[in-house]
Each structure stands twice: as structure tokens, then as C-alpha cells.
Structure 1
Amino acid sequence: MTDLAFRSARGVLVTGASRGIGRAVAHAFAERGDRVAVHYRTGREEAEETLRQLPGEGHALVQGDLADPQAALALVSEAIAGVGGAVDVLVCNAAVAPSERNRHSVAETSYDEWVSSWRTMVDVNLLGAANVTWAVANHLIERQAPGAIVNVGSRGAFVGEPEHPAYGASKAALHAFGQSMALALAPHRISVTSVAPGFIATERQHTKLAGPTGDSIRDQSPFGRVGTPEDVAAGVVYLASPEAMWSSGTVLDINGASYLRS
């Protein structure tokens, strides 16, 4: 594939695309004429709804548990076949997100719960992304094709996550992994970047935003609002574009100035 071809319709794999940020990212690529492989682990109905919403043709649905290394490898092969034989862009969005159910504050969690939380989050948020990256990177190298990999990290990698330390650590490691891959894959014309979203108004955050803490969350940003999945998608689409190749290695903050890194 030539660089000119990279500007035309591309094959895009978005992990964790059944809803929220992943759904918005999938839709943003499809709007630009790309063929999108919508990945999900268990939410098949939601993933099918994402697929139905995508404009254009040539999209596909792929399933797999990223905590399983063999499943991660298989879903990339399925995605390649599903979008016409080539994946040019990978968006590593799938993650075990913080919730009250997986809260693991060090002073309030049993050792078994602590170990389980760390294993679950690291297996998906870091190792799953690493394994999918390996598969897509080698696919691109074999084709001698340019490409882009964008990791969806988190502001929590910088501000800390005291009630979900495994989440914060896994996202910080994902940023670092992306920068290592940016160095390793640049000779192959593959850019690797990350985004670090702040608080995003996804479906799972509706109750929190509608409750008594909603105003304080919105006030974290001088814009007086929280981010949307579409805000994140806009950054991801830009970083995956050929024009952003020279930004390889960057971590783009998408948090409405709610946190500023020095």
C-alpha cells in the first residue's frame, strides 16, 4: 500500500466499540469513508447497534476477550478478513473501567480482591492492548504498509486513581507502551499515539452526572462541562490521519483543561 492509498478508505479496528467512546470513534471513522471492525467482548446487542449506526459499507463485527492472548490474536485476524483483507488503523479502546464494583482502595480491600483487581485491569487495559498491537503491527509490516495505532489512555494516569490504582497504573503503562512502540515502528511508517481523556459523559456516567456530585464534576473544567465521546473521537481520528504522522509518540490530553501537565 502506498501513502496515497493510506489517505483513501482504510480498514480500522476499534476495540471496545459496543458503546461510549468506542462507538463514537467507530462512527467518526465510518463517516470518513473507512471500513470499521467493531470489537466487543460480551455486549453483542450493543455492538450490533453500533454496527447498524455506522454510515457506509464494508463494516464488520468481531468478538474476543482481550484478557486471553489467543483471543486477541484471533480477533485481529477476524477483523482483517471482515473489513476487506487489510487493517490500517488500530484504536486500542477496550478497558476494564473504574466502577464501584471493582473499587480497590488499598486500606479497604482484602488481599484476594486486590490481586484480582490488578490482574483483571492489567490483563485487559495493558496486556490486551499490547497483544492486539503486536498482531496489527506485524500485519502492517508484512504488507509494507503505513498505518496508525492510537491508544485510549486516561487523565487518571497523571492525576492518580486512589480508589482504582490498578486502573491508573494500567493507563500510565499504556501511554509508556505507546511511546516505546512509536520508536520501534517509525521505521515501518507506523505512527503510535495516545489520548488521555478526562471525565467523559458516557452511558455509565449518567447517574453520577445527574446526581449531587454532577456540578462538581462539571466544574473540574473551566468550560463548565464534561467531555463527550465525540470530543475523544475527534482527537483519535486526527492522530490516526496521515497528516498527524509526525506527532507519533505524543499523548494528547482531552480533558477541557481540567488537568494541565507541565
Structure 2
Amino acid sequence: MNFKNKTVLITGASRGIGKATAMAFAQKGAKVGINFRNNLKEAEKTLAELPGECHQLFQQDISEKDGPEALIQRFVDCYGRLDILVNNAGISIFHKIDEVDFEHWTHAWENTFKTNLFAVSNLCYWGAKAMMKNGGGRIVNVSSRGAFRGEPTKPAYGASKAALNSMSQSLAKALAPHKIYIGVVAPGFTETEMAAITLTPAERENLLRESPFKRMAQPQEVAHAILFLASDGAEYSSGTIIDVNGASYLRS
């Protein structure tokens, strides 16, 4: 896969899967825009580690109503065009129905959908508009195995990712005439910096038992699938959802 001189915007790219994806694109010659919300220190660290030149930071809260349009416009103003958009940013809020009050419940649903679905749909809208002006492009949305298996302790997360999958496939049909191709990557639990901080030993052990590989996914493995969907030659995979979960959940 060669992305020489391609422009790539990745949301939530300061660490984890986003960082690994930024690194992978940069290694293949792309010019990478790193979107982040608050963590400037981590974003600057990621930027400094990217090989190649012409990479940029784009601080923007995509959950704000005008955030997606502003982000896409700033990116196009910087690079002149948008070739590839990777919607990786997302949030996950625990809200087990038999433990939380109604205020917490509604807060979790509203904020999860605001970031995981509404922001992504708006980024797809403005990203597609920019791509139409330049003859096409690629959009890759990052979903989750939770869209298929259910998330009992954070149902809004699972629901938002299921909706993301459906939206992506609808847009794959709608945007094909414009030579804009859309794919989805659905990771299982991934070994990120956040996982190392938040998981208890018992939770980690349970996760390791879920896959026959007896390990979690590495961010680079998820990035590999993202790059495939964004690559030349993958056009007829538009509308595809690629599972990257180490056979921890198999769907028919």
C-alpha cells in the first residue's frame, strides 16, 4: 500500500488506535492531520514521532455542532484537498441500567451518540463534500464488536456503533457514484495506553480468555485494516465491515 502525497485526516489521533493509524499512514508517505480534543501534550508527542513531513495538528471538539465543518475546512485550507478521512474518535460511558439513576442514564445516551454517531455523520457530510470537489476519496469509520455482541454495561456505546455501521453502509451506496468509498473496521478490545490504566487484573484476565489467541488486539493490527480499506484497489470493498477481534466474537 502506497499513500505517497495522499492527505489523511484522523480524528482522535493523539494516542491508541488513532496514533497507530497516523504512524502507519505516515510510513507509507501520506500527509497526516492529527485531530485531538484536549490532550495537546500527547498530540505533540505523536506528531514528533511521525516519519516524513507536512504533518499537522488540528485541535477541535468534533462533538460540538459546528466542530466537524470547522475541522474539515481547516484541513482543506491547510492541504488543499482531503483524500482520506478516518473517523476514529469515540467515547464510552458505563451506565448499567440496574445501577444508575435516570439522569446518568440519559446523560450517557445523549453524550455517547453526540460523539460516536452525530459527529461522525457530520464529518462524513463535510468530508464527502470536500472529496466531491476533487474527484473522490475514502472514508473509514471505526466501529466495535460491541455493535454486534451487545454491551450490557454501556448499551449506548453498542447502539451508537450499530447505528454507525448502518449509516456507513447507507453512505457507501449513496456516495459510490461520486467515487467516494466507505469502509468500517470493528475492533475488539485493543491494548492501548488507556486499557493499561483502566483495566483491573481481573478484567484483563477475562478479556484474554475471550479470544483463542489469548491476547488483545494491538493498535497496529487495527491500523492495518484501516489502511487496506483506504487503499487503491479496495474500491469494491466499499460498504464492508472488517472485524479485528481475534475470533473473540464471530458473527454470521
Partner SS state of residue 236, structure 1 = helix
Instruction: Name the structure 1 match of 2:114.
Output: 123
Instruction: Name the structure 2 match of 1:49.
Output: 45
User: For 2:199 and 2:113, how far apart are their aligned partners in 1?
Assistant: 27
Partner SS state of residue 243, structure 1 = coil
| CA distances 1:161-192 after superposition (whole Å, capped 9, x unpaired) | 11101100001111111001100110011110
User: For 2:158 and 2:62, how far apart are their aligned partners in 1?
Assistant: 18
| Aligned 8 A contact 1:208 1:214 in 2 | no
Instruction: Name the structure 2 match of 1:89.
Output: 84
| CA distances 1:136-173 after superposition (whole Å, capped 9, x unpaired) | 10011122x22110000000000101110110000111
Q: 2:94 corresponds to which letter in structure 1? A: R
| Aligned 8 A contact 1:209 1:215 in 2 | no
User: For 2:229 and 2:41, how far apart are their aligned partners in 1?
Assistant: 29
Aligned length: 251
| CA distances 1:206-241 after superposition (whole Å, capped 9, x unpaired) | 145561332331121111111011010000000100
- Residue 104 and residue 209 in structure 1: after superposition, are their counterparts in 2 closer, same or farther (change >3 A)? closer
Q: 2:184 corresponds to which letter in structure 1? A: S
Give 4+ residue runs of structure 1 displaced > 6 Å after superposition.
none
Q: 1:105 corresponds to which letter in structure 2? A: K
User: For 1:53 and 1:255, how far apart are their aligned partners in 2?
Assistant: 27
| Aligned 8 A contact 2:4 2:28 in 1 | no
TM-superposed CA distance for 1:7, in Å, is 5.8
Partner SS state of residue 210, structure 2 = coil
1:135 paired residue among 122, 126, 137: 126
Q: 1:165 corresponds to which letter in structure 2? A: P
Uncovered stretches (5+) of structure 1, i.e. residues with no partner: 1-5
1:148 correspondence with 2:138: yes
Q: 2:111 corresponds to which letter in structure 1? A: T
1:108 paired residue among 91, 99, 106: 99
TM-superposed CA distance for 1:65, in Å, is 1.1
Instruction: Name the structure 2 match of 1:63.
Output: 59
Partner SS state of residue 213, structure 2 = coil
| CA distances 1:32-72 after superposition (whole Å, capped 9, x unpaired) | 00000000011111111111111101111101111112121
Partner SS state of residue 69, structure 1 = coil
Instruction: Name the structure 2 match of 1:240.
Output: 230
1:206 paired residue among 184, 196, 205: 196
TM-superposed CA distance for 1:8, in Å, is 4.0
TM-score normalised by the chain length of structure 1 = 0.92
Uncovered stretches (5+) of structure 2, i.e. residues with no partner: none
Partner SS state of residue 66, structure 1 = coil
TM-score normalised by the chain length of structure 2 = 0.96
User: For 1:9 and 1:53, how far apart are their aligned partners in 2?
Assistant: 18
| Aligned 8 A contact 1:195 1:254 in 2 | yes
Instruction: Name the structure 2 match of 1:167.
Output: 157
| Aligned 8 A contact 2:13 2:89 in 1 | yes
User: For 1:53 and 1:78, how far apart are their aligned partners in 2?
Assistant: 22
